[in-house]
């Protein structure tokens, strides 16, 4: 696929939309090559810490739901690290007119840990325009759920949302001795 190309999967509300994300969620970037390297190294350190923590808590009696949520977050992070680490090494630059080539003769477009993350899932569920009277955005396009994302992003988001919803169950503590005496 060329950069920005859409393939309709389900009507006007689900598309495969090829884009390359240079940075973090929603296309945010950290300054230049140093920022990209810092982000890649931060992801690797975070996955190592999460992996160590998962190893420790699986030996204790913790909720399987907590382990599942943290595993989703870790798996998504690893997926994005793989893209970031290797995509730039093995593909040529994508453009709006040309499909990226796999294993180009001169090498890829970026060094190790400087690749872009491929995002492709796009769900523009509701499309329309802001009313003219609407402050700041009056008359402009409105698309509900504009972000383009990938499966790894979905895993991270799902893990975080489930952690928030079930935090009381996952992080409940045992009653303290003083609580038991008062009862």
For residue 71, with 0-12 CB atoms within 10 Å meaning exposed, 13-18 middle and 19 or more buried, which class applies?
middle
The DSSP line for 136-161 is TTTTSEEEES--EE-HHHHHHHHHHH
Phi-psi sector, 113: left (phi>0), alpha (psi -120 to 50), beta: left
DSSP state letter for 132: T
Active site residue 179: no
> What residues contact 61, with CB distance under 8 A and at least 6 apart?
none
- Single out the catalytic residue among 83, 141, 153, 179: 153
Active site residue 119: yes
- Single out the catalytic residue among 83, 119, 141, 179: 119
Query: What residues are annotated to the active site?
Result: 119, 153
């Amino acid at each position: 696929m060329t950069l920005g190309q859409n393939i309709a999967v389900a009507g006007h509300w689900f598309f495969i939309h090829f884009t390359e994300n240079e940075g973090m969620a929603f296309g945010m970037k950290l300054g230049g090559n140093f920022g990209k390297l810092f982000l890649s190294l931060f992801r690797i350190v975070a996955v190592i810490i999460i992996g160590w923590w998962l190893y420790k808590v699986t030996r204790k009696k913790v909720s399987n739901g907590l382990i599942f949520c943290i595993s989703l977050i870790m798996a998504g992070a690893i997926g994005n690290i793989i893209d970031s680490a290797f995509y730039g090494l093995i593909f040529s630059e994508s453009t709006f007119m040309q499909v990226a080539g796999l294993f180009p003769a001169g090498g890829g477009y970026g060094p190790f840990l400087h690749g872009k993350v491929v995002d492709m899932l796009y769900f523009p569920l509701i499309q329309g325009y802001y009313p003219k009277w609407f402050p700041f955005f009056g008359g402009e396009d409105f698309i509900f759920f504009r972000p383009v994302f990938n499966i790894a992003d979905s895993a991270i988001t799902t893990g975080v949302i489930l952690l928030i919803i079930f935090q009381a169950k996952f992080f409940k503590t045992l009653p303290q001795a003083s609580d038991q005496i008062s009862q």
